[in-house]
Amino acid sequence: MSYATQDIIDALKSARETKGLSQRALSKRTGVPQSHISKIESGGADIRLSSLIELARALDLDLKLVPRKAVPAVDNVVRSTAPTIPATPAFKELTRTLETVKKLRVTYPELTELKKLQDNFQTLKNLRNVGKDLEHLREIGKPIRELQKFAETYRGIADAGRRTAEQIKAIQDAAKIPVEQLEALRQAAHNAQTLRNQLVHIIPEQPSLPRPAYRLDEEENDHG
């Protein structure tokens, strides 16, 4: 998946969660099957133009091609119109931990727990009711900070430039995350998912718009 596609997916998912809409509610608004919305948000399906337009409109977004030189200016305008969330201690903790997870994913790109944590933290960051969960966030962040320390030690060895067979083996051994640390990270990913689910369900669902009389191509594909 390209970075450009991922940006579009992230924007759609963020807009849906900011509005407090479940995938099912968005499906009712657009006629795009919930199963297909789920696949789009997880990167498991390409977004057809028809679906993209319907989803964007339902989320009060618009699609427009702009000259590449104008992109920075457009990005600035988008940021200035984005709803602001108070910088509470919990929100600051969440932001710091999310940035740590992003950096760790560069070192451990295959670690699925980090991908789950990043997705859940990104969702939490878009919610307005995360401010009361500072202690939960700190607890979730503990194994992430421990892994950060471990990664810094590993990078220090790897950057030392030692290249004898024995030293290469030492570097490889240093890169292996201890089992107990992996288990703690899995538990953190589970706790982040649980917190996300709790807070998402607190948001009242907005009334659905009338369902379109037509059905999109993706729905036909979903049903064979």
Q: Is the pLDDT of residue 94 over 60?
A: yes
Query: Which of 145, 142, 143, 141 lies closest to 183 in space, CA to CA?
Result: 143
- For 138-157, the pLDDT digits (tens) are 999 999 999 888 888 766 55
- HEC-encoded secondary structure of 189-207: HHHHHHHHHHHHHHCCCCC
Average pLDDT, the chain: 76
- For 17-67, the pLDDT digits (tens) are 777 788 888 899 888 899 988 888 888 777 888 888 888 888 888 888 888
Query: Which pLDDT score, from 0 to 100, does residue 2 have?
Result: 52
Query: Which pLDDT score, from 0 to 100, does residue 219 have?
Result: 44
1 vs 153, more confident: 153
**Domains of the chain and any CATH numbers:** 3-83 (1.10.260.40), 89-202 (no CATH)
Query: Which of 61, 145, 142 lies closest to 104 in space, CA to CA?
Result: 145
List C-alpha distances in Å: 26 to 44, 45, 54, 67, 213: 18, 17, 10, 30, 16
207 vs 18, more confident: 18
Query: Which pLDDT score, from 0 to 100, does residue 187 have?
Result: 93
- For 186-206, the pLDDT digits (tens) are 999 999 989 888 887 654 444
What's the angle, vertex CA 199, arms to CA 149 and CA 140, rounded to 5? 15
Residue with tokens 């807070």: 199
- Classify 161 in phi/psi space as left (phi over 0), alpha (psi -120 to 50) or beta: left
Read off the DSSP letter of residue 33.
Answer: -
Q: Is the pLDDT of residue 77 over 90?
A: no
163 vs 108, more confident: 108
Q: Which residue type does 113 have? A: E
- Classify 47 in phi/psi space as left (phi over 0), alpha (psi -120 to 50) or beta: beta
Tell me what the mean pLDDT of segment 151-169 comes to.
Answer: 59
Phi and psi torsions of 27, nearest 5°: -60, -45
